[in-house]
């Protein structure tokens, strides 16, 4: 089966020019191959570079070395070197990302926040809103909150809106960064359910879950990561 | 033909504009594709406004070229076109939203007249149709229809700016240039305006080049970002990538300087 | 009275006041204007013995085209006997000794302020208009460089904005004088503050129409038999003024009427603005139908 994601020899460091140009290596020579139907959980302590790794795959962070090959169904794109427009196209149809925090846009209603990724794909407003409502209901966001912008919601509510937005489109590859943090048990279980459904339907997931129970429920395998020492590899 | 095969809407090659010994902008190249928003950020004196004026046919560059994909004649060099063609393009296929609404509106003409002027400039001669088109656009920019006959001097800054946007969009342009469109507005007004711009850009599939010094505006509206300093582009790429993982020292400085309330 | 011929002077003034070189310059401008109907030709406007704003442009045009055999009529708002008309007519009589008249039909050159005579003009006649502001786009665009470009590139859609504003404000196009026109299908022109009632007379007129703006230093022209079309909207077509009354003196039903207040109890009467036309009708009622 063709891998949906192939990471080869990925290395990344940060250079903080305004702090005496400190050089902070975070990832060194990471390799990972993911095929559809897998859920790979990134394991490791804080500072191991797990979030950084996800952001590199999404094109949010740049890489120093290596390839990040993603199969878009039409072609193979190397996120490490692709032009911005290719990455935007990839993010619309192939790679989804649920971050730890919801970036709040003022004045946009919860329903619009969640239905937007569908509308951007050309889905009709009616269908997009329908599917958004379905997702919001599943995640137990009360209907009275749907017309409101999420800025004033509780942390848990915001996180569920974030998850809803990230999962409303069926993406072949999903990158999840602590999607169940700040959720209670019921909602956590719902998110697990949704993730398992997607994996069963053939999506691939690369995720970070600090909660061991969640890890065990969704993972098909794990990748161990550890913080780099400052001694060069 | 897929979108990727269509080619860029605007192609800028090695653009340089010198003001005697000072470089307004130096050796800038960029492409703008249909449906995308390019943000140009930088501080005062970075050359971003000079660049915007050069690529919007308002200022002839010293060197380099600006080519536009016209509807019927393919890729045309803007500064080799006849002035008549260029002016026509600026009224129909392009929009330019000025930082100060006074520069982009006729202050002695009513709101409806300001929008209608663009239609009359391309030959519309039916009063009723012109007025109803103007009304439609005023509604789209959330402007009180009851004030369609009022003079812009009686409007608030936010209203003037929304009127300017409507005036620029009425002829269905494919490319809109914006120079700090939310500068000088109250924060709540700014938020509303940015929302409006986001919605219009996605609904109308506009290409937009927006110059701003405000990184939050850039993050909200732009797909791609170019950071300018001293007339040069120091960094360019995906908006979230430039702002979350800035590579160039100046970009890092800019990003870290932004105050979070 | 000694007759003046060609370049003979009277009290040190040349025929028609202006020196021959100036007249030549103005005639060159006139030729240019006639060659490009409706286009504003800049000219070196001279100081005349009446202030700017009183018809110096019209006077310079008339002075440049008058010859000893011409017959001159001067009207002001249709009338031969107002102060200005009388002064200007006397001025030309003094400096040229040409024959003057009040009869439209007898004149070869007619200088007018703000009206076109009711009597239809004939081939060979010249109508000289006094123009205050020649630029029709000035109200919308104060920059001269920009208005010149708009004329050059035929960017006239914005002129309709003025008409749009009228309809929005008053429900109809309220511009009632100095109503903008398109000449020969090309140039946008201001016909001077004649009532819009007179606009149709400019269209395909057998006479040569010359326009002089002295303060603004522009001359323009409409050659004989040229199309002159008044601007309008498809759903608000151009209309001329109507009155409910006929002329109280001569009974004409199709002329431009002045309203004259007769007493302080609200009494008023409506009288032809064109005094010559009205007089003719009164003198020979059957002949002047």
- Report C:120-159 residues touching B (Cβ under 8 A): 139-140, 149, 153, 155, 157-158
Which of B192, B238, B248 lies closest to A87 in CB terms? B238
* Contact residues for C258 (Cβ-Cβ < 8 A; gap 6+): C77, C78, C270, C271, C272, C273
Q: Does residue A10 sit in the same domain as residue A74?
A: yes
pLDDT the model gives residue B189: 82
Select from A181, A173, A192 the least CA-distant residue to A101: A181
Terminal-residue alpha carbon distance, chain B: 47
Domain boundary among A130, A159, A188: A159
Q: What proportion of chain B, given as a percentage, has pLDDT over 70? A: 97
Instruction: State which of A133, A159, A185 marks the end of a domain.
Output: A159
Stretch 44-63 of chain A: residues touching chain B, C-beta under 8 Å: 55, 59-62
Q: A78 with A107, same domain?
A: no
- Please indicate whether, in this complex, the C-beta atoms of B36 and A60 are within 8 angstroms of each other: no
Q: Residue A165: inside a domain, yes or no? A: no
pLDDT confidence band for A188 (50 / 70 / 90): very high
Residue A177, pLDDT score: 93
Using a CB–CB cut-off of 8 Å, the residues of B that contact A are 4, 33, 36, 191-192, 195, 198, 202, 220, 223-224, 237-238, 240-241, 244-245, 247-249, 252-253, 256
Question: Hey, is the C-beta of C168 within 8 angstroms of any chain B C-beta?
Answer: yes
Active site residue C247: yes
Same domain, A14 and A62: yes
Distances (CA, A) of C212 to B27, B215, C39, C74, C129: 52, 58, 12, 15, 6
Hey, are the CB atoms on B240 and A120 less than 8 Å from each other? no
Do A2 and A80 belong to one domain?
A: yes
Tell me the pLDDT tens digit for each residue of B88-107.
888 889 999 999 999 999 99
Task: With a cut of 60, say whether residue A203 has pLDDT above it.
Answer: yes
The SS3 assignment for B166 reads: helix
Task: Kindly state whether residue A47 falls inside one of the protein's structural domains.
Answer: yes
Quick one: A89 and A184 in the same domain? yes
- Count of CB atoms situated within 10 Å of the CB of C148: 14
User: What's the DSSP call for residue A104?
Assistant: P
Q: Domain range holding A217?
A: 1-94+171-233
The pLDDT score that the predictor gives to residue B170 is: 92
Which residues in A lie closer than 8 A to residue B195 (C-beta atoms)? Answer: 105-108
The 10s digit of each residue's pLDDT in C233-288 is 999 999 998 899 999 999 999 999 999 999 999 899 999 999 999 999 999 866 54
Say whether residue C229 is in contact with chain B using an 8 A CB cutoff. no
- Shared domain for A141 and A179, answered yes or no, is no
Q: How many CB atoms are closer than 10 A to CB A212?
A: 9
Would residue A64 count as lying in a domain? yes
The answer to the question of residue A40 being in a domain is yes
Residue A164 in any domain: the answer is no
Alpha-carbon span A218 to A174, nearest angstrom:
13
pLDDT in the model for residue C1: 39
A229 and A130 within one domain: no
Nearest to B241 among A59, A105, A119 (CB): A59
What distance in Å separates the CA atoms of residue C244 and residue B169, rounded to the nearest whole number? 47
Residues A183 and A152 in one domain: no
User: Are A1 and A54 found together in one domain?
Assistant: yes
DSSP state of C241: -
Contact B228, B214 (CB under 8 A): no
Q: Is residue A45 part of a domain?
A: yes
Count of domains observed in chain A = 2
d(CA B10, CA B37): 12
Are the beta carbons of C271 and C248 closer than 8 angstroms? Answer: yes
8 Å CB contact between C176 and C238 = no
Count CB neighbours of A74 within 10 A.
10
Give the β-pairing of A5-16 and A22-34: antiparallel
**Gap from C199 CA to chain B (nearest CA, Å):** 20
Report the distance separating Cα C71 and Cα C110, nearest Å: 8
Nearest CB partner across the interface for A88, out of B191, B195, B223: B223
* C251 catalytic per annotation: no
Across the interface, whether the CB atoms of C164 and B83 are under 8 A apart is answered: no
Q: Are C221 and C33 in contact (CB under 8 A)?
A: yes
What residues are paired with B209 via a beta bridge? B38, B177
Residues of A in contact with B4 (CB under 8 A): 85
Testing the interface with B: which of A58, A77, A84 to mutate, by most B Cβ within 10 A? Answer: A84
C238-275 burial, b if ≥16 CB within 10 A, otherwise e?
beeeeeeeebeebebeebbbbeeeeeeeeeeebbbbbb
The nearest CA of chain B is from the CA of A33 a distance in Å of 24
pLDDT at B8 over 90: yes
Average pLDDT over residues B13-40: 89
C219 vs A143: CA distance, rounded Å: 73
- Can you give the length of chain A in residues? 233
CB distance C33 to C219 below 8 Å: yes
- Whether residues A123 and A212 share a domain: the answer is no
Is the pLDDT score of B213 beyond 60? yes
Picking from A129, A159, A189, the residue at the C-terminal end of a domain is A159
Find the helix or strand (DSSP H, E) in which A36 lies.
Answer: none
CATH no. for residue A32? 3.40.50.300
Q: Which residues of C touch B131 (CB under 8 A)?
A: 164, 168
List CB contacts of A216: < 8 A, sequence separation 6 or more.
none
What is the spatial distance between Cα B16 and Cα B242, in angstroms, rounded to a whole number? 24
Give the pLDDT confidence of C146-198 residue by residue, as tens digits: 999 999 988 888 788 989 999 999 999 988 899 999 999 999 999 999 999 99
Token readout for A161 is 């809106």
Asked whether B155 and B25 are in contact (CB, 8 A), the reply is no
Q: How many helices (H) and strands (E) does chain B have?
A: 11, 10
Check residue C5 and give its pLDDT.
52
Q: Could you tell me if A132 and A229 lie in one domain?
A: no
Asked if residue A25 belongs to a domain, the reply is yes
Q: pLDDT tens-digit profile of C199-242?
A: 999 999 999 999 999 999 999 999 999 999 999 999 999 999 88
Q: Confirm whether A166 is domain-assigned.
A: no
Q: How close is the nearest chain B Cα to the Cα of A149, in Å?
A: 12
Mark whether A7 and A52 lie in a shared domain: yes
Note whether C157 contacts B112, CB cutoff 8 Å. no
């Amino acid at each position: 089966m063709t891998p949906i994601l192939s990471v080869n020899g990925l290395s990344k460091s940060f250079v903080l020019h305004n702090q005496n140009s400190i050089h902070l290596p975070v990832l060194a020579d990471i390799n990972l191959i993911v095929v559809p139907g897998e859920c790979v959980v990134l394991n490791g302590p804080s500072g191991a570079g797990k979030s950084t790794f996800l952001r590199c795959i999404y094109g949010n962070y740049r890489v120093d070395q290596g390839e990040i090959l993603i199969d878009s169904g039409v072609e193979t794109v190397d996120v490490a070197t692709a032009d911005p427009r290719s990455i935007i196209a990839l993010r619309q149809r192939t790679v989804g990302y649920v971050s730890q925090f919801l970036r709040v846009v003022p004045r946009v209603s919860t329903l619009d926040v969640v239905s937007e990724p569908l509308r951007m794909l050309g889905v009709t407003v009616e269908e997009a809103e329908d599917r958004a409502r379905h997702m919001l209901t599943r995640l137990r966001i009360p209907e009275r909150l749907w017309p409101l912008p999420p800025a004033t919601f509780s942390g848990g509510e915001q996180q569920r809106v974030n998850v809803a937005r990230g999962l409303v489109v069926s993406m072949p590859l999903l990158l999840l960064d602590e999607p169940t943090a700040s959720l209670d048990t019921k909602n956590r279980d719902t998110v697990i359910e949704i993730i398992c459904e997607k994996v069963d339907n053939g999506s691939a997931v690369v995720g970070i879950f600090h909660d061991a129970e969640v890890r065990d429920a969704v993972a098909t395998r794990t990748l161990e990561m550890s913080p780099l020492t400052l001694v060069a590899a | 033909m897929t979108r990727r095969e269509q080619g860029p809407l605007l192609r800028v090659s090695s653009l340089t504009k010198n003001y005697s010994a000072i470089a307004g902008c130096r050796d800038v190249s960029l492409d703008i594709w249909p449906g995308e928003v390019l943000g140009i950020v930088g501080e005062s004196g970075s050359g971003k406004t000079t660049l915007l004026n050069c690529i919007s046919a308002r200022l002839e560059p010293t060197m380099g070229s600006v080519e536009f994909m016209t509807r019927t004649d393919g890729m045309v060099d803007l500064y080799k076109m006849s002035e008549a063609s260029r002016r026509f393009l600026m009224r129909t296929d392009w929009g330019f939203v000025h930082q100060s609404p006074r520069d982009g509106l006729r202050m002695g003409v009513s709101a409806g007249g300001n929008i209608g002027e663009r239609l009359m400039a391309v030959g519309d001669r039916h009063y009723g149709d012109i007025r109803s088109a103007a009304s439609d656009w005023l509604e789209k920019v959330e402007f009180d229809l009851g004030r369609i006959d009022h003079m812009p001097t009686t409007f608030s800054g936010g209203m003037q700016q929304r009127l300017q946007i409507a005036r620029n969009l009425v002829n269905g342009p494919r490319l809109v240039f914006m120079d700090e469109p939310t500068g000088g507005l109250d924060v709540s007004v700014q938020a509303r305006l940015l929302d409006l711009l986001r919605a219009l850009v996605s609904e109308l599939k506009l290409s937009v080049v927006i110059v701003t010094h405000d990184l939050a505006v850039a993050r909200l509206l732009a797909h791609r970002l170019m950071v300018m300093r001293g007339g040069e582009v120091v960094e360019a790429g995906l908006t979230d990538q430039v702002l979350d993982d800035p590579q160039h020292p100046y970009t890092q400085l800019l990003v870290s300087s932004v105050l979070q309330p | 009275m000694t007759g003046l011929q060609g370049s003979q002077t009277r009290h040190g003034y040349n025929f028609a006041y202006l020196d021959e070189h100036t007249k030549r310059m103005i005639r060159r401008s006139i030729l240019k204007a006639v060659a490009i109907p409706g286009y504003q030709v800049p000219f070196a406007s001279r100081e005349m013995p009446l202030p700017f704003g009183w018809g110096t442009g019209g006077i310079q045009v008339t002075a440049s085209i008058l010859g000893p055999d011409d017959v001159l009529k001067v009207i002001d708002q249709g009338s031969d006997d107002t102060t200005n008309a009388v002064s200007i007519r006397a001025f030309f009589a003094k400096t040229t000794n040409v024959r003057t008249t009040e009869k439209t039909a007898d004149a070869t050159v007619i200088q007018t302020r703000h009206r076109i005579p009711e009597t239809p003009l004939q081939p060979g006649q010249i109508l000289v208009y006094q123009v205050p502001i020649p630029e029709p786009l000035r109200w919308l665009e104060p920059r001269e460089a920009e208005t010149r470009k708009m004329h050059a590139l035929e960017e006239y859609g914005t002129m309709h904005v003025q008409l749009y504003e009228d309809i929005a404000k008053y429900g109809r196009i309220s511009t009632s004088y100095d109503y903008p026109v398109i000449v020969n299908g090309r140039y946008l022109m201001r016909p001077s503050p004649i009532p819009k009632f007179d606009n149709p007379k400019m269209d395909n007129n057998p006479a040569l129409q010359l326009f002089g703006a002295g303060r603004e230093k522009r001359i323009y022209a409409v050659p004989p038999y040229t199309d002159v079309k008044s601007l309008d909207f498809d759903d608000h077509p151009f209309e001329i003024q109507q009155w409910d009354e006929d002329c109280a003196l001569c009974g004409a039903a199709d002329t431009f009427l002045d309203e004259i207040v007769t007493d302080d109890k609200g009494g008023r009467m409506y009288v032809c603005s064109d005094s010559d036309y009205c007089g003719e009708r009164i003198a020979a009622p059957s002949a002047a139908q």
